[in-house]
Amino acid sequence: MTAAQFVGVSQVFGDFTAVDAIDLSIPEGKLTTLLGPSGCGKTTSLRMLAGYLAPTSGQILISGRDATRTPPEKRNLGMVFQSYALFPHMSVAENVAYGLKVRRVGGAERKRRVMESLELVGLAHLADSKPKKLSGGQQQRVALARAITIGPELLLLDEPLSNLDARLRIQMRAEIRRIQAETQLSVVLVTHDQDEALEMSDEMVLMKDGRIQQHGSPHEVFPAPANRFVAEFLGYENFLHDGGGRLLTIRPEHVGLTADAEAAGAGAPSAGVQIAGTVRDVAYRGVDVLVSVEGDDPAGDRVAVTADLRAGSAPDLSPGDPVRVHLPESQLVEIDSDAA
Ligand SMILES: Nc1ncnc2c1ncn2[C@@H]1O[C@H](COP(=O)(O)OP(=O)(O)OP(=O)(O)O)[C@@H](O)[C@H]1O
Ligand SMILES: [Mg+2]
């Protein structure tokens, strides 16, 4: 079952196409992320789904029904934005109750649902506090409870963690996962952080310039990026051509490296690509060492290859040293040269 669907949806501002004829199904009961660089059309897509922005063309279906012209308040969606804007003069419980009040859910039922949502986000004990007494993470949980308490068909989260400090952000990733799993809500989360998307998504949708580049589970997308844009966005830094005109990529962690004298030695992996080259830069990072090497790929083009080696087992190298990089066959990924 699909919770929502974009059918050929575009958004054009003047002569600028922010979202370009996207087709996308959001599955029911799962967490789907829209991932991509700044300006790629994530928020615009979410605003169209929420009903704050009418598509220039195309259709939006929610639970199988055409909702293209349905106003936001009739879509029964919960939303949390980057700036979660709680009402400062209301208590936590009153903030969470707000959506229910608007929907004329009264008395005991309202109280029960507010407490249920606050328990879900672990804040029942702060029901009577004012928002300004809460930490950023707690405020974000209140915003989540407020969005969830109405029993939305879809929960839309636009960079909900970006105002939190790094540690809290990582805690809240797991927290949102847990809440999604417990409620079985259909969630669409917008982020430009690939780690966040990889960790949180059932499905991830990569966008660039208003178009979808790839869509699949993290297990599908990460090891098999569809094109160079997706590969680069997910941290594949090395690109080379084989002798047959194929474009290959490999992650720095999968690149092996030996000092040149050892090149013919035992233990060097034979299947794959080997490039003889010269060390250009060595960056020590504590746990690991980044070594960038310049050499010729099998097609004869000059390429830079970065190897990310464990600090303990990396050879002692300096710029100018001759080395050989080993790109094991099993880790080389063939990709399309250009993004769609
Ligand atoms: N109301 C508007 N009028 C004109 N251009 C707009 C409008 N809203 C968005 N845009 C443009 O559309 C493009 C997509 O914007 P959008 O906010 O969807 O990006 P985003 O992927 O959410 O980026 P970010 O990660 O920075 O939030 C941007 O180039 C933006 O400048
Ligand atoms: Mg945005």
**Enclosing H/E stretch for 311:** none
Would you state the pLDDT for residue 270? Answer: 65
Low-confidence stretches of the chain (pLDDT beneath 70): 84, 261-270, 338-340
Q: Is 40 in the pocket of ligand 1 (CB under 6 A)?
A: yes
Q: Which residues pair with 203 in a beta bridge?
A: 32
Atom of ligand 1 at shortest range from CA of 45: 18
How confident is the model at residue 340, as a pLDDT?
41
Parent domain of 261 = 239-335
Report pLDDT digits (tens) over 171-191.
Answer: 889 999 999 999 999 999 999
Q: Give the model's pLDDT for residue 136.
A: 85
* Domain endpoint, select from 185, 202, 229: 229
- Of 229, 250, 268, the residue that ends a domain is 229
Query: Which of 164, 194, 229 marks a domain boundary?
Result: 229
Residue 223 shares a structural domain with residue 250: no
Query: Would you say the CB of residue 42 lies under 6 angstroms from ligand 1?
Result: yes
pLDDT tens-digit readout, 286-304 = 999 999 999 999 999 999 9
User: For the stretch 221-258, what's the b/e string if a residue is b when 16 or more beta carbons lie within 10 angstroms of its beta carbon?
Assistant: bbeebbbbbbbebbebbbbbbeeeeebbbbbbebbbbb
Give the model's pLDDT for residue 18.
98
If asked whether residues 141 and 219 sit together in one domain, one would say yes
Identify the pLDDT of residue 213.
97
CA distance 44 to 53: 8
Q: Are residues 224 and 151 in the same domain?
A: yes
* pLDDT reported for residue 339: 46
Residue whose Cα lies nearest atom 31 of ligand 1: it is 39
